[in-house]
């Protein structure tokens, strides 16, 4: 890591996120307003098909570029090139509004996913994981400020009838993103050129990537079905919007307000609900929330036709995709081997995403010509069916995720040292399957992996059976039990199971207690466990907890310190 102040890197990352999200909201609003005011809505499917093909080409190219060059190289240059292309569209707009609208549509479709992906990859390489976990709320809050700013800019431009002025603002925002990315790149660690890919070596093709990591295929299919259903709903939404508003200024204002509103709602759910949902539903259930919302939204729009119902359906799809689904998706991707991840992420994030857009547009085009009188009902029916298929795929990923953890950690198990054990569930699987000392594993239950599956299944009944059946908890299961402190049904069993092991696992418990981004329901219950640890390490951690920003955590830490002092005398701290 660079010897520069990491606080400066964090500030630049937050600033870049704000600028990027402001551009994202403004560009999306401008794209829809210009296209729908320049073309009939029936031309939208053809434009989406063309944009999907363009995006697929960019996605395949990005997959290969990211294997040869680091995000520190790719991100600043990509933002700068995009700014030049937006400037070209601005020059075309006064005399050639239709070609300019097409160019902006292609730019938003092609760079709307790739540029944020490159920027977040850059953040993950220049900030250590602990800093990201502790300060991700700051970056997310900055991104939300950008959403509001971009929406306000677009809304005001539409209100004053100065839609073309949005393009210079978008160019400026991208140039500032390029500058922020170049500043952020100074904090990336120095790595040899061969770290990413040997010079001159060809990146693996998609088939090889999926064959080497078969668990990525159901994830890609889930993305494909979800995006196709979203594209179908989006067409109905834009058709109703174009029927209500015809001028580019009115459309720009409407889409600006809509995009800002769903952006704010997404941030609220991301920060307040996503972690709890993952803890209660598991990864499969969390991923299934998106197709469930899509299916119910499309069905509701069939029953109650009109802009309000289809607007709610479109908004729910966007919000669930970028909050709950994104949380589960990132968690599923975490243990994917680095090589497969670098090759597959651009292809899944952008390639399958845009392929779904293209399939949706092709289906809409077919239905428009085959059954024009019942197009809306047929499109929404297809969205419901795709939502049901997505639910089935998402629930199958629960088992695939556990197998992915096992395969990832078995590959590294023999190199894992007990001294490096930091309490991760991944390490627990490796140690359970490959004990370092055969004699140390004598008498250990051989179904540790099975118990781990039960504890992380998201089913309270299955987790309860494990907690009740263990007279003494296997130490390897501690990382899986700590999140259960958030459960209103399991927290008492989890506390009882963890107390006998608190002395040996004080570090893990303190990590959760002192993490400001952790669930409050977990953090406020950990002092009840540490109250039975007389050692100075627990007392030191509880003293640090007295400075926690949440009152309940401070109160619980004070209670625990009082209990320790009453039971063992005055605290002797170094």
Tell me how far apart the alpha carbons of residues 222 and 290 are, in angstroms, rounded to a whole number: 10
Residue 85 near residue 103 (C-beta atoms within 8 A): yes
Q: Show which of 358, 376, 409 is a domain's final residue.
A: 409
Instruction: Tell me which DSSP letter residue 263 carries.
Output: H
Q: Tokens in use for 439?
A: 């004699």
Whether 414 is covered by a domain: the verdict is no
- Same domain, yes or no, for 363 and 435? no
- Same domain, yes or no, for 401 and 543? no
Higher local confidence (pLDDT), 163 or 307: 307
- Same domain, yes or no, for 379 and 479? no
**CB neighbourhood size of 129 (10 A):** 8
Tell me how far apart the alpha carbons of residues 492 and 358 are, in angstroms, rounded to a whole number: 50
pTM: 0.62
Question: Looking at 56-60, 199-203, 339-343, which range is the least confident one?
Answer: 199-203
Higher local confidence (pLDDT), 455 or 411: 455
Please report, for the domain that includes residue 41, its CATH number.
1.20.1250.20
- Same domain, yes or no, for 243 and 284? yes
Q: Secondary structure of the chain: what % helix, strand, coil (to 5)?
A: 80, 0, 20
* Cβ partners under 8 Å of residue 414, min gap 6: 434
Tell me how far apart the alpha carbons of residues 149 and 136 are, in angstroms, rounded to a whole number: 20
The residue assigned the tokens 């209660």 is: 280
Residue 380: band (very low, low, confident or very high) from pLDDT cuts 50, 70, 90: very high
Q: Which of 225, 235, 198 is nearest to 68 (CA)?
A: 198
Tell me how far apart the alpha carbons of residues 224 and 261 are, in angstroms, rounded to a whole number: 26
Q: Tokens in use for 319?
A: 């919000």
3 state SS of 11: helix
Whether 573 is covered by a domain: the verdict is no
Range of the domain at 228: 6-187+212-409
Q: Show which of 376, 409, 442 is a domain's final residue.
A: 409
Evaluate if residue 493 carries a pLDDT over 60.
yes
Q: Please compute the mean of the pLDDT values over residues 324-337 and round it to a whole number.
A: 69
Residue 301: band (very low, low, confident or very high) from pLDDT cuts 50, 70, 90: very high
334-363 tens-digit pLDDT: 556 555 555 666 667 777 888 888 899 999
Tell me how far apart the alpha carbons of residues 314 and 233 are, in angstroms, rounded to a whole number: 6
- Same domain, yes or no, for 180 and 225? yes
- Same domain, yes or no, for 454 and 326? no
Evaluate if residue 226 carries a pLDDT over 80.
yes
Question: Looking at 334-348, 499-513, 515-529, which range is the least confident one?
Answer: 334-348
Whether 195 is covered by a domain: the verdict is no
Whether 249 is covered by a domain: the verdict is yes
Question: Looking at 132-141, 156-165, 456-465, which range is the least confident one?
Answer: 132-141
- Same domain, yes or no, for 449 and 497? yes
Question: Looking at 36-50, 353-367, 452-466, 479-493, which range is the least confident one?
Answer: 452-466
For residue 14, the model assigns a pLDDT of 85
Evaluate if residue 214 carries a pLDDT over 70.
no
Evaluate if residue 3 carries a pLDDT over 90.
no
Higher local confidence (pLDDT), 325 or 171: 171
Tell me how far apart the alpha carbons of residues 30 and 90 are, in angstroms, rounded to a whole number: 12
Whether 288 is covered by a domain: the verdict is yes
Higher local confidence (pLDDT), 388 or 413: 388
- Same domain, yes or no, for 395 and 426? no
For residue 334, the model assigns a pLDDT of 57
- Same domain, yes or no, for 529 and 396? no
Tell me how far apart the alpha carbons of residues 353 and 113 are, in angstroms, rounded to a whole number: 9
Tell me how far apart the alpha carbons of residues 198 and 301 are, in angstroms, rounded to a whole number: 52
Residue 94 near residue 34 (C-beta atoms within 8 A): no
- Same domain, yes or no, for 284 and 404? yes
- Same domain, yes or no, for 111 and 20? yes
Question: Looking at 131-140, 174-183, 252-261, 341-350, which range is the least confident one?
Answer: 131-140
3 state SS of 448: helix
Residue 172: band (very low, low, confident or very high) from pLDDT cuts 50, 70, 90: very high
- Same domain, yes or no, for 433 and 556? yes
Whether 193 is covered by a domain: the verdict is no
Residue 186: band (very low, low, confident or very high) from pLDDT cuts 50, 70, 90: confident
Environment class of 459 (CB within 10 Å of its CB; exposed 0-12, middle 13-18, buried 19+): middle
Q: Show which of 383, 409, 435 is a domain's final residue.
A: 409
Question: Looking at 202-206, 252-256, 313-317, which range is the least confident one?
Answer: 202-206
For residue 446, the model assigns a pLDDT of 44
| Domain count for the chain | 2
């Amino acid at each position: 890591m660079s010897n520069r102040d990491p606080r400066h890197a964090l500030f630049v990352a937050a600033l870049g996120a704000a600028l990027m999200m402001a551009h994202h909201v403004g560009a999306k609003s401008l794209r829809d307003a210009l296209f729908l005011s320049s073309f009939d809505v029936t031309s939208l499917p053809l434009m989406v098909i063309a944009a999907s093909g363009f995006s697929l080409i960019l996605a395949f190219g990005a997959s290969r570029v990211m294997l040869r060059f680091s995000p520190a190289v790719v991100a600043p240059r990509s933002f700068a090139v995009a700014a030049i292309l937006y400037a070209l569209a601005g020059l075309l707009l006064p005399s050639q509004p239709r070609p300019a609208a097409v160019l902006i549509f292609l730019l938003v479709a092609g760079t709307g996913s790739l540029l944020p992906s490159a920027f977040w990859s850059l953040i993950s390489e220049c900030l250590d994981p602990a800093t990201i976990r502790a300060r991700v709320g700051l970056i997310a809050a900055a991104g939300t400020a950008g959403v509001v700013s971009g929406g306000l800019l677009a809304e005001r431009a539409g209100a004053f009838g100065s839609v073309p002025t949005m393009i210079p603002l978008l160019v400026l925002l991208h140039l500032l993103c390029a500058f922020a990315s170049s500043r952020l790149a100074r904090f990336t660690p120095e790595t040899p050129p061969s770290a990413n890919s040997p010079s001159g070596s060809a990146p693996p093709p998609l088939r090889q990537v999926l064959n080497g990591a078969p668990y990525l295929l159901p994830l890609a299919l889930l993305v494909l079905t979800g995006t196709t259903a979203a594209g179908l709903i989006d067409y109905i939404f834009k058709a109703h919007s174009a029927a209500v508003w015809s001028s580019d200024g009115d459309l720009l204002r409407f889409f600006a307000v809509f995009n800002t509103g769903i952006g704010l709602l997404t941030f609220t759910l991301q920060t307040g609900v996503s972690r709890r949902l993952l803890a209660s539903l598991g990864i499969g259930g969390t991923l299934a929330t998106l197709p469930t919302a899509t299916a119910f939204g499309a069905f509701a729009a069939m029953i109650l036709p009109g802009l309000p119902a289809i607007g709610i359906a479109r908004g729910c799809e966007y919000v669930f995709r970028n909050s709950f689904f994104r949380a589960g998706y990132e968690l599923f991707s975490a243990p994917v081997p680095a090589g497969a991840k670098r090759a597959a992420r651009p292809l899944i994030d952008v390639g399958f995403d845009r392929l779904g857009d293209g399939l949706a547009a092709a289906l809409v085009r077919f239905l428009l010509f085959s059954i024009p009188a019942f197009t809306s009902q047929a499109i929404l029916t297809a969205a419901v069916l795709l939502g049901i298929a997505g639910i089935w795929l998402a629930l199958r990923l629960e088992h695939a995720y556990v197998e992915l953890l096992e395969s990832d950690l078995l590959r590294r198990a023999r190199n894992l040292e007990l001294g490096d054990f930091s309490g991760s569930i991944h390490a627990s699987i490796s140690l359970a399957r490959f004990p370092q000392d055969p004699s140390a594993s004598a008498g250990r239950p051989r179904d540790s992996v099975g118990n781990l599956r039960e504890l992380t299944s998201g089913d309270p009944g299955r987790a309860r059976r494990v907690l009740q059946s263990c007279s003494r908890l296997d130490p390897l299961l501690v990382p899986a039990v700590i999140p259960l402190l958030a459960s209103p049904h399991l927290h008492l069993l989890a506390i009882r199971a963890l107390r006998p092991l608190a002395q040996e696992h004080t570090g893990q418990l303190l990590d959760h207690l002192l993490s400001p981004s952790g669930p409050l329901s977990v953090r406020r219950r950990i002092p009840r466990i540490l109250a039975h640890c007389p050692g100075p390490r627990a007392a030191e951690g509880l003293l640090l907890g007295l400075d926690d920003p949440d009152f309940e955590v401070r109160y619980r830490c004070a209670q625990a310190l009082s209990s320790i002092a009453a039971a063992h005398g005055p605290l002797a701290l170094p």
